[in-house]
Chains A and B, each alone.
Chain A
Amino acid sequence: MPAPIRLRELIRTIRTARTQAEEREMIQKECAAIRSSFREEDNTYRCRNVAKLLYMHMLGYPAHFGQLECLKLIASQKFTDKRIGYLGAMLLLDERQDVHLLMTNCIKNDLNHSTQYVQGLALCTLGCMGSSEMCRDLAGEVEKLLKTSNSYLRKKAALCAVHVIRKVPELMEMFLPATKNLLSEKNHGVLHTSVVLLTEMCERSPDMLAHFRKLVPQLVRILKNLIMSGYSPEHDVSGISDPFLQVRILRLLRILGKSDDDSSEAMNDILAQVATNTETSKNVGNAILYETVLTIMDIKSESGLRVLAINILGRFLLNNDKNIRYVALTSLLKTVQTDHNAVQRHRSTIVDCLKDLDVSIKRRAMELSFALVNGNNIRGMMKELLYFLDSCDPEFKADCASGVFLAAEKYAPSKRWHIDTIMRVLTTAGSYVRDDSVPNLIQLITNSVEMHAYTVQRLYKALLDDISQQPLVQVASWCIGEYGDLLVSGQCEEEEPIQVTEDEVLDVLEGLLVSNLSTPVTRGYALTAIMKLSTRFSSVNRIKKVVSIYGSSIDVELQQRAVEYNALFKKYDHMRPALLERMPIMEKTATNGPTEIVQTNGETEPSVVEAKHPPPVTQPANQANDLLDLLGGNDVVPVIQTTMPTKPASAGGELLDLLGDLSLSGIPPMTAYSKNGLKIDFTFERANPNPNIAVITIHASNSTEADMTDFVFQAAVPKTFQLQLLSPSSNVVPALNQGTVTQVIRVLNLQKQQLRMRIKLTYTHKGSPVQDLAEVNNFPPQSWHAHPSLGLIG
């Protein structure tokens, strides 16, 4: 049998292949040869064959049949074999396969080998891919090597220990004694890996952290030596002595100094020294400065030092190297909350970064810019941000638009400016604006009473230009429906009023209905707007005609609306003015997150029409009175139907029912669960005008003598309900009723069924985990009872 071809020759041969198919053929041929060689248990060439296999594996071909061969190589006495064997193990085996456990014994032997390079191979492999079982078995050996005086092995053992700790955190304690004098080593390799090990231990255990705090002076000394010492050829990188070690020490100092005044004080000087003396012309120096800045910002440093750090970041922003700019923006983003004023000083540089070519830099600059907007700089910042919005990539537009709306809402210097800004966003990035912006904007416009005429005029003009951007069109339609009377009467004060007739307005709205560009949602808005104009315009007949045409529309939503509006004309014409009158000012509920939809009074978005979950809307009492006064009502919180409008046929009857409904607040609290000292009470918030949502607050209290920690409350409801659980106030229920954990649940009960809930409680009590499941069936009927509703069609 001829000797198997050598590795380099195989590589050369495979590279001559001109097609993928040719390559595959060569590989298959060679694999077959290798397989038979393996079967013959050939010791001499096993190493060569496995090496070839590893090459083919890198090209993407399967090599699993070589796994056991790697193990045989590891067990061999020849160094060559071991080298390739261990390499193969690291490339072909992973800890999910049981095969790798067979390595354990070999590694154990090799850890005790007489040759340090063999020991090194074993440590490397264990530290790279050792599974938890292997780590458990071999931790003792690693610990032994951590105490050796051989620095070549000691440094490897330290990193191997890091891996062991990551895999089996409980073993961390056993390495503690060996760390005793790690930092007194002169060898940089050992120092570096020791610092990594200490960092790992401190990050994982607060006890270790407290224990190692005493090393701060020593670390400071080592760092000082590195900075002050002269040129050391062995560790020099562009004039800096061992930057890798410096960075790791700075990182460990960060962890040790965090929330500890004494340690932070002890490192103040050295941090200032590094910050001011490090050479910044090359990446190395900046890497150290970067780490220093991170440390300064995280520990309890004095304000002068913090300002120094932020200024370094400011200088980074002006650096030609985009990597440095990127890193600066990332860091500034982290510190903008805590050191807002210092970061503000660099605002113009940050805004310049909006024009950077790199996408990541642009994104960070955008986020940072929004974080820096305040009442003073809003006008200037907004100019820049709107310019950015115009020219940026599509992937940014949605976030940028949302950011602009948020900032405008918080800091708008005037209502007109606000409306103008919104208009600008809608017209330039209208199709990227998030769906929930539409109701937000509508509410905003409604509340800017004096700007109604101006707004509707501008929106109308925008519609004449472009009807492709749906959010713009939707807001515009709504406004025209609401304020069309102002539009045709030419009342605008803010700018030159335009002359437009009722027919022209109706032309535009009807145009939306028929246009291909309009989505079904937009059509819904347009139709409703047209309907509303029936009480504001005089051309009622035209409107009646349009409405009746859409009574047979294919679009079910449009059809339903049209049919109902028709009915309104025919049978309930006396109610039409009241139902379609001008919207009152809406108070915005506190939103829990950017995705929550603020429900406008009566207007529905398609998702709501499909009867998904509308969030609760709390109507202020005076607004309710306004509405009810018309109907002769009393001071009852009105219940506004915000899901699909009910058929007008029953509207009259339900209106009367409303008057008979009193006092929806005052649902008594109840005890949902009481067992083993844990009591959970439910209280109900002031009844929501939205009859479909119950807002329940749980109050968990603990009458035993020990705290209940890691307390987690989970709830489940039957399929016809939907549940939302907000964050708990804490996860420790203090003993002896010293406090309660509260958490808010919102339950959507569309089908108005009896509320039932299953709850699951988990906590740790006196060291043992406790878990319990329970059913809650004693909800008071008022919490889910159906209310009659007012079909306010908007």
Chain B
Amino acid sequence: MQFMLLFSRQGKLRLQKWYVPLSDKERKKISRDLVQTILARKPKMCSFLEWRDLKIVYKRYASLYFCCAVEDQDNELITLEIIHRYVELLDKYFGSVCELDIIFNFEKAYFILDEFLLGGEAQETSKKNVLKAIEQADLLQEVSMLSSIDGFSWLF
């Protein structure tokens, strides 16, 4: 996978994970153009498209578009499953996840993604294990915060 973007139906970026080295400017341009292209597609269309010599796989969940750019040899159908798995993880973590959860807890969305994918490939195929790891890491974070500020675990 080269990158994954999450964006709303108004085209606002909610998450961007890049697995290839690109400058900020290049990233902005790609995001902007790709988002526009996908938003222009009709609902009945295919989840796959070829865009600027990249293979794009995208799926809409409620008000959020999940969009990945994959390599030529990557299996598009399993990429859809990867996207679905990520949504399931978010759903389990936040409890019936909605866009607002991801807006207000974007850093957590990243943490979860980073426990599921690494360098663009799946590192863990068990839902349980990913969630367990996140849970433990969250605990570690709380512990590390307890010793600070006012004794309460305000997560910044």
Known: A87-B110, A160-B119, A234-B128. A323 touches B156 (CB 8 A): no
| Contact between chains at A323 and B47 (CB < 8 Å) | yes
Q: Helix, strand, loop or mixed for chain A's interface?
A: helix
Which B70-118 residues have a C-beta within 8 angstroms of A? 73, 75-78, 80-82, 85, 103-104, 106-107, 110-111, 114-115, 118
Complex interface: chain B residues within 8 A of A247 (CB): 75, 78
Given contact pairs A84-B107, A244-B81, A245-B125, A357 touches B119 in the complex (Cβ within 8 A): no
* B50 at interface, CB cutoff 8 A: yes
Within 8 A of A (CB), among B139-156: 140-141, 143-145, 148-149, 154-156
Of A80, A129, A159, A357, the contact of B123 (CB 8 Å cutoff): A159
Q: Which residues of A contact B75 (CB under 8 A)?
A: 247, 251, 287, 290-291, 294
List CB contacts (< 8 Å) of A364-406 with chain B: none
Most A CB contacts (10 A, CB to CB) among B127, B128, B137, B149 go to B137
Q: Which residue of B lies closest to A158 (CB)?
A: B123
A359-B106 contact given A94-B22, A117-B136, A327-B77, CB 8 Å threshold: no
- Give the contact stretch, choosing among A48-56, A456-464, A668-676: A48-56
Distance of B124 from chain A, by nearest CB (Å): 4
Residue B45 at the chain A interface, CB threshold 8 Å: yes
Contacts of B34 in A (CB 8 A): none
Establish whether residues A128 and B118, one from each chain, have CB atoms under 8 Å apart when the complex forms. yes
Interface readout for A220-242 with B: 1 if CB under 8 Å, 0 if not?
00000000000000110100001
Query: Which residue of B has the minimal Cβ distance to A45?
Result: B156
A684 to B46, CA, bound (A): 53
B52 within 8 A of A: no
B132 (CB) vs chain A CBs: closest residue: A152
Report the Cα distance A196→B115, complex, angstroms. 17
CA–CA, A337 and B139, complex, Å: 57
Q: Give the distance to chain A from B136, nearest Cβ to Cβ, in Å.
A: 7
User: What A residues does B111 contact at CB under 8 A?
Assistant: 83, 87
B61 within 8 A of partner (CB): no
Beta-carbon nearest neighbor of A288 in chain B: B78
Does A6 lie within 8 Å of B156, measured CB to CB?
A: yes
Contact of A188 among B14, B107, B126 (CB under 8 A): B126
A669 to B50, CA, bound (A): 49
A283 to B48, CA, bound (A): 14
User: A44-B149, A359-B45 are known contacts. Are A243 and B78 too (CB-CB below 8 A)?
Assistant: yes
Among residues of B, the one whose C-beta sits closest to the C-beta of A361 is B46
* B36: Cβ under 8 A from any A Cβ: no
Q: Given A192-B123, A327-B76: A128 and B19 within 8 A (CB)?
A: yes
B81 and A237 contact, CB distance less than 8 A: yes
A323 close to B77 (CB less than 8 A): yes
Report if B16 contacts A (CB, 8 A): yes
Which residues 196-229 of A have a CB within 8 angstroms of B?
196
Report the minimum CB–CB distance from A367 to chain B (whole Å).
13
Q: Say yes or no: B154 contacts A287, CB within 8 Å.
A: no
A78→B148 contact, CB < 8 A: yes
Whether B38 is near chain A, meaning CB under 8 Å from some CB there, is: no
Among candidates B44, B106, B123, residue contacting A189 with C-beta atoms closer than 8 Å: B123
* B63 interface contact, C-beta 8 A: no
A284 close to B81 (CB less than 8 A): yes
Report if A47-B156 is in contact (Cβ < 8 Å); known contacts: A95-B21, A152-B133, A156-B123. Answer: yes
What A residues does B156 contact at CB under 8 A? 6-7, 45, 47-48, 51, 80, 84
Contact across chains for B141 and A79 when beta carbons are under 8 A apart: yes
A323 contacts B23, CB within 8 Å? Answer: no
Residues of B within 8 A of A152 (CB): 133
Whether a CB of chain A sits under 8 angstroms from the CB of B39 is no
Min distance, Cβ A124 to any Cβ of chain B, angstroms: 5
Docked complex Cα distance between A283 and B144 (Å): 43
In the complex, whether A345 has a CB less than 8 A from a CB of chain B is: no
A222 to chain B, nearest CB (A): 13
Residue of B whose beta carbon sits closest to that of A285:
B77
Is B122 an interface residue, CB under 8 A from the partner? yes
- Which residue in A11, A15, A189, A357 is a CB contact (below 8 Å) of B126? A189
Asked if B107 and A87 make an inter-chain contact with CB atoms under 8 angstroms apart, the answer reads: yes
Cβ of A525 within 8 Å of any chain B Cβ, yes or no, is: no
Query: Residue A324 at the B interface, CB < 8 A?
Result: yes
Collect the chain A residues with CB atoms within 8 Å of residue B118's CB.
123-124, 127-128, 156, 159-160, 193
Report chain B residues within 8 Å CB of A15.
Answer: 103
Please tell me if the beta carbons of B78 and A287 are within 8 angstroms of each other in the complex: yes
Do A196 and B121 touch (CB < 8 A)? Answer: yes
Interface string of A528-548 (1 = CB under 8 A from B): 000000000000000000000
> Is A358 within 8 A of B44, CB to CB?
yes
Kindly provide the distance from the CB of B104 to the nearest chain A CB, expressed in whole angstroms. Answer: 6
A576 in contact (CB, < 8 A): no
Contact residues in A for B44 (Cβ distance below 8 Å): 322, 357-358
A326 B107 Cβ-Cβ under 8 A: no
Q: Whole-angstrom distance from the CB of A557 to the nearest CB of chain B?
A: 39
Give chain B residues whose Cβ lies under 8 Å from the Cβ of A81.
144
Is the C-beta of A29 less than 8 angstroms from some C-beta in chain B?
A: no
Chain A nearest CB from B117 CB (Å) reads 9
Residues of chain A contacted by B78 (CB below 8 angstroms): 243-244, 247, 287-288, 291
B103 in contact with A11 (CB, 8 Å): yes
CB-defined interface of A603-638 with B at 8 Å, one 1/0 digit per residue?
Answer: 000000000000000000000000000000000000
Closest CB pairs A-B (n = 10): A287-B77, A48-B156, A127-B119, A79-B144, A189-B124, A159-B118, A287-B78, A163-B119, A78-B144, A244-B125
**Would you mind naming 7 contact pairs between A and B with Cβ atoms under 8 Å apart?**
A58-B15, A87-B111, A128-B19, A189-B125, A357-B44, A357-B45, A358-B45
Given known contacts A235-B126, A290-B77, A291-B75, what 18 new A-B pairs fall within 8 Å (CB)? A58-B106, A78-B145, A79-B140, A80-B155, A83-B107, A95-B21, A96-B21, A159-B121, A159-B123, A189-B126, A189-B129, A192-B125, A193-B118, A234-B129, A294-B75, A322-B45, A358-B45, A360-B46
